Structure 1
Amino acid sequence: MKVLLVCSSGGHFKALQQLADFWQRHPHLWVTFRTATTETALAQEQVLWAHSPTNRNLPNLLRNLWLALQVIRTERPDVILSTGAGVAVPFLLIGKLFGCKTVFIESVTRIQTLSLSARIVHPFLDILYVHWPQLQLRYPRAELVQSKIGS
């Protein structure tokens, strides 16, 4: 199973790193933003650098849309896994069109409402994971992550 890992740098990147027990067992490719942190952390990984910033930046949205099309068409991942951010949207939507399984893990900080990126893609996802029962009540298709929050 080939896994495409898509996230922004920062907190979304750290969250995806915490799932290493899963993705390290499979061939994988990262798509994230180039920062000193991601360059260092991914020095031994296969990575493609997405265009940043993505908030209210139409040229970068189009560049990332084109990148998503190229990456998914050539790499043919079985699963696209994301912990969020605007950069994930084109990859998850195009991946779905190409028959990839799409999985989004919402940030633990989202308690009452989904992030904008999750709201955009959730109707098309195979799996949406949330950390809080309040979100699962609002989005019944979401699956609750069994985490150690509050314990």
Structure 2
Amino acid sequence: MKVLLVASFGGHWVQLKRLAALLEAEEQVFVSTADRHNAGASYYLDDFSVRELWRGVRQLPKAIRIVRECRPDVIISTGAAPGLLVLFAGFLLGRKTLWVDSIANCRRLSLSGRVARLFASRVLTQWPELASWRVRYLGRLL
């Protein structure tokens, strides 16, 4: 199985790398917002906030190109908005997608997580009290 893993650099990236270490995938391909010298990802996107959707719209063709080139069986993201963008590109191209909301979001799902509910194949929270419509709690992953 080929997995495309996407996260913004920083805490989201740390959580994604921890999750990746637990996966039994034949191939893992990473997408980050940091430059090549910092993250070690195969692909890079400019960072933006979900509140700056115009920046995301400008990068959607690049996100679609990444998914087409990689041809993953599943796309996983721990956030933030650039991860959401690649998940959306995967949705448009018929790929399975998984959003894992950050463990830091203990009071409510992140804004990106709430948007991911609309199209992601699965949305996971790490807090049982946040499980709801289209959001599953399977335990703490990270």
Q: TM-score, with normalisation over the residues of structure 1?
A: 0.81
Match for 2:115: what amino acid?
I
* Aligned residue in 2 for 1:128: 123
Give % identity: 33
* Aligned residue in 2 for 1:147: 140
**Deviation of 1:56 (Å):** 4.6
What are the Cα deviations for residues 77-129 of structure 1, in whole angstroms up to 9, with x where unaligned?
11000001011122111201211110011111112321111111112111111
The structure that has the greater radius of gyration is 1
Match for 1:133: what amino acid?
P
Q: Provide the rounded CA distance (Å) in 1 between the counterparts of 2:50 and 2:88.
A: 18
RMSD: 2.3
**Deviation of 1:75 (Å):** 1.9
Q: How many pairs are equivalent?
A: 142
Mean Cα deviation higher: 7-16 or 104-113? 104-113
Q: Is the 8 A contact 1:83 1:104 kept in 2?
A: yes
Match for 2:137: what amino acid?
L
- Structure 2 residue aligned with 1:72, among 56, 67, 72? 67
Q: TM-score, with normalisation over the residues of structure 2?
A: 0.85
Residue pairs, 1:1-151, within 5 angstroms: 1-23=1-23, 25-35=25-35, 39-42=37-40, 47-54=42-49, 56-57=51-52, 60-136=55-131, 139-147=132-140
